[in-house]
Amino acid sequence: MTRGKLVFKNLTRKKSRFLFTILGIAVGIASLVTLLSLGTGLEAEVKKQSQALGAELVVTPKGWCAYEQISVLTGESLPEAIPNEDVEKVAGITGITAVPYLVQRTAIKNQPVTVVGILPEPMKQFKNWQIDRGEYRLDRESVVVGSSIAQQFELKAGDKLTIRGTGFILRGILKEMGNRDDLVIYLDLATAQKLYGVGDKVSFIAVKVDDVTQMDRYSQEIQERANVAVVSDKQLIRSVLAIMGTVRNTLQMIAAVAVLAAAFGIINTMLTAIHERKREIGILQALGARRRTIFSLFLYESALYGLLGGVLGLAAGFALSFFAAPYIEQSEFTAFLGSAQSVKMFSPAVVGQAMLFAVVVACLAGIYPAWKASRLSPVEAISYE
Amino acid sequence: MSEMIIRTEKLTKIYENGYSTVALQDVDLEIPRGSLSCIMGPSGHGKSTLLHLIGGLDRPTSGKVFLEDLDLTAVDANHLAEVRCRRIGFVFQFFNLLPVLTVLENVEIALMLAGIPPRNQRERAEELLGLVGLEDKLQAKPNQLSGGQRQRVAIARSLANDPDILLMDEPSGNLGTKSERELLENIEKVNQRGKTVVIVTHSPSVAKISHRIIYIQDGRLKKEGE
Ligand SMILES: Nc1ncnc2c1ncn2[C@@H]1O[C@H](COP(=O)(O)OP(=O)(O)O)[C@@H](O)[C@H]1O
Ligand SMILES: [Mg+2]
């Protein structure tokens, strides 16, 4: 007989209570693990999307907040706010290449899809796009789409597409880029402006500079010439990460609270168990068990709840983040969290953090019941009826 | 008169919960080493209380308990646990065994608490259970045993740490005559191996095998033989 054996026999003697207490912990840990693993690849993912944008500077309307800056990277529709006059002023600066974006939304088969109005030729060069099928043609009745859109909706060159009640012909499908460009329908800028009734305005302008060391100077020059704001790609990444980090931390806090709630389940279970086993505690004391021994027996029992709940929760959490991640509804906040690339499976850090949290919380929850058990006087325990 | 292993001085226990119950008053008692004594008296008159006090399970309101030269009322909870572990074996009236453990494990746990490593426990536990004639019930759970068998497991377990003193609270209280006879044989066997035995009992057959009878009434000791 060892203490471990005794603890384990006691732990599993009430099967359903054992199971439900474990499940309480497991649910909390599973959500924690899901959220922790969803966030692990966040930074790399944001950088990747920023690279896909291909710009060193982004010209935005004045007064944009970080929320709208995220949308530059996620492809959410944006308010149109930079007039053509300013676009031309920016484009006129020597040493830079500027391409305007008008980002809007439409729906195909009731699913939301991003529509971007662009200048066809400058954009193609800017992005180094290749055509996969059909031809690269954008005009009043022609559009091209990214490869994922074509795949998702089973589109081929020559198909008809209705955008905002107007019929278009799908002329070409771009080669896969492996980023958000694959998820977009591209329209000729003027056509898009008319279709969405936004006059001569665009959402933002992506800018490439010829000499990267001169970025600050260009940034200043753009703001002097036009009534706009300018952010660098680095600033963009930083503010996006700041927001996403806050969102992630908040979600993780909620999950942590779920684990804490389960800790009260452990306290409850342990107090009930101690009440039921008062006589047994008395027997152990009569046999010479010290207070420290009684305390540790019950503390180990709680810790085991944390350990087993943690293991179960880890398994469930990884399963959940593996299967659920691709289906997380895309929005500004979840766009980066949910993308498959940002889910790092079985990261040792996540496993370590979650298990540590489960066991520490379970131990803390076990202290009070174990202390109570250890303070029982032997006679009180024995003569208890 | 032989050497006294247990001695009490003006032992008094008053339970305070809401109102005071005087369970024991000014009990002066001496128990010789190696004796087989029984404590008799009406229900609720303080017999169990006395047994718990001399076994270091509870503390008196006033007075002293000596185990040889050690004053049990002067030591801390850990030291008391140590004394119970090394020197005293208990058998209670009901509920002696841990229901989740087998007969064998119930004995092994006493050995574990006495600090005997797992690999040495089994042999000793089997030997003890053999002593009380339960070698064929090692893997049974307590709820598969009769009342008498359970008490015998409790006796085997109380001997696990090779104690000097065996304290039993109405061990045959809920047994039939046949079980009681078996139990008494076991108790005598243990006593003949040199253990001091103190039994709280109502049973005349227990009284018959005892060397000394201690009468308790209203928490007070009646003079022996009275
Ligand atoms: N834990 C306790 N709290 C309060 N009163 C108790 C407690 N234990 C025993 N008593 C009281 O002390 C008296 C003696 O009890 P006890 O020693 O159990 O008697 P006996 O074993 O002779 O039947 C009884 O009146 C009983 O009600
Ligand atoms: Mg009694």
Contact A287 B90 (CB under 8 A): yes
Q: Which residue has the tokens 């970080």?
A: A66
Is pLDDT at B226 greater than 70 in this prediction?
A: no
Residue B202: partners with Cβ closer than 8 Å, 6 or more residues away: B40, B170, B173
Q: A212-246, pLDDT tens digit by residue?
A: 888 889 999 998 888 888 888 888 888 878 877 78
Question: For residue B49, what are the CA distances in angstroms to A156, A381, A382, B46?
Answer: 93, 14, 12, 5
**CA–CA separation, B35 vs B144, rounded Å?**
34
Q: B16-56, pLDDT tens digit by residue?
A: 988 999 999 999 999 999 999 999 999 999 999 999 999 99
* Per-residue DSSP letter, B170: S
Selected residue with higher pLDDT from A382 and A169: A169
pLDDT at residue B223 in the model: 66
Report the phi/psi class of residue A63: left, alpha or beta, with left for phi > 0 and alpha for psi in -120 to 50: left
- Return the bridge partners of B14, or none: B22
> Quick one: average pLDDT of A367-380?
92
pLDDT at residue A332 in the model: 46
- Confidence class for position A351, pLDDT limits 50, 70, 90: confident
Q: Is A57 helix (H, G, I), strand (E, B) or coil?
A: strand
Which amino acid appears at position A40 of this protein? T
Lookup: tokens for A61: 């309307």
Q: B127-143, pLDDT tens digit by residue?
A: 999 988 899 999 999 99
Is pLDDT at A331 greater than 80 in this prediction?
A: no
Lookup: tokens for B116: 């005997």
pLDDT at residue A328 in the model: 56
Q: What is the DSSP string of A68-136?
A: HHHHHHHT------EEHHHHHHHHTSTTEEEEEEEEEEEEETTEEEEEEEE-HHHHHHHHT--EEEE--
Q: Where are the domains of chain A?
A: 3-47+240-382, 62-227
Torsion of CA A27, A31, A33, A39, to 10 degrees: 180
Which amino acid appears at position B154 of this protein? A
Q: Are A266 and A308 in contact (CB under 8 A)?
A: no
Going by alpha carbons, the residue nearest to atom 18 of ligand 1 is B48
Among the partner-chain residues A6, A284, A379, the one whose CB lies closest to the CB of B52 is A379
Query: At B89, which helix (H) or strand (E)?
Result: strand B88-91
Instruction: Calculate the average pLDDT of chain A.
Output: 86
- The rounded percent of chain A whose pLDDT value lies above 90 is 41
Q: Which residue has the tokens 């589109």?
A: A155
> Quick one: average pLDDT of A264-285?
94
Is pLDDT at A266 greater than 80 in this prediction?
A: yes
Is pLDDT at B59 greater than 80 in this prediction?
A: yes
- Confidence class for position A19, pLDDT limits 50, 70, 90: very high
Out of B11, B15, B169, mutate this one to test ligand 1's pocket (max ligand atoms within 8 Å of CB): namely: B15
Ligand 1 lined by B201 (C-beta under 6 Å): no
Is pLDDT at A284 greater than 90 in this prediction?
A: yes
Interface ipTM: 0.93
- Going along chain A, which residue ranges are E strands? 57-60, 82-83, 96-108, 111-118, 131-134, 142-145, 160-163, 166-174, 184-188, 201-202, 204-209, 229-232
Ligand 1 lined by B46 (C-beta under 6 Å): yes
Cα of A352 vs its chain's centroid, Å: 20
Half-sphere exposure of A175 (CA within 13 A, CB side): 7
Long-range contacts of B41-49 (CB under 8 A, 24+ apart): B41/B215, B41/B216, B41/B217, B41/B222, B42/B217, B45/B216, B45/B217, B45/B218, B45/B219, B46/B13, B46/B216, B46/B218, B46/B219, B47/B169, B47/B200, B47/B216, B48/A383, B48/B169, B48/B200, B49/B13, B49/B23, B49/B24, B49/B219
> Quick one: average pLDDT of B69-93?
93
Selected residue with higher pLDDT from A329 and A201: A201
pLDDT at residue A74 in the model: 72
Lookup: tokens for B12: 């008094």
pLDDT at residue B99 in the model: 93
The reply to whether the predicted model has a pTM over 0.80 is no
pLDDT at residue B94 in the model: 81
**CA–CA separation, A85 vs A200, rounded Å?**
9
Is pLDDT at A251 greater than 90 in this prediction?
A: no
- Confidence class for position A344, pLDDT limits 50, 70, 90: low
Rounded to the nearest angstrom, the distance between the alpha carbon of B65 and the centre of ligand 1 is 19
Lookup: tokens for B222: 């009646």
> Quick one: average pLDDT of A366-373?
96
Q: Which residue has the tokens 């209280």?
A: B173
- Confidence class for position A340, pLDDT limits 50, 70, 90: very low
Is pLDDT at B192 greater than 80 in this prediction?
A: yes
- Confidence class for position A80, pLDDT limits 50, 70, 90: confident
Half-sphere exposure of A197 (CA within 13 A, CB side): 1
> Quick one: average pLDDT of B79-100?
92
Query: CB contact, 8 Å: B116 with chain A?
Result: no
Query: CB contact, 8 Å: B143 with chain A?
Result: no
Ligand 1 lined by B25 (C-beta under 6 Å): no
Going by alpha carbons, the residue nearest to atom 23 of ligand 1 is B44
Going by alpha carbons, the residue nearest to atom 26 of ligand 1 is B44
pLDDT at residue A341 in the model: 47
Chain A CB contacts of B83 under 8 Å are: 288
Domains present along chain B, CATH in parentheses? 4-96+163-225 (3.40.50.300)
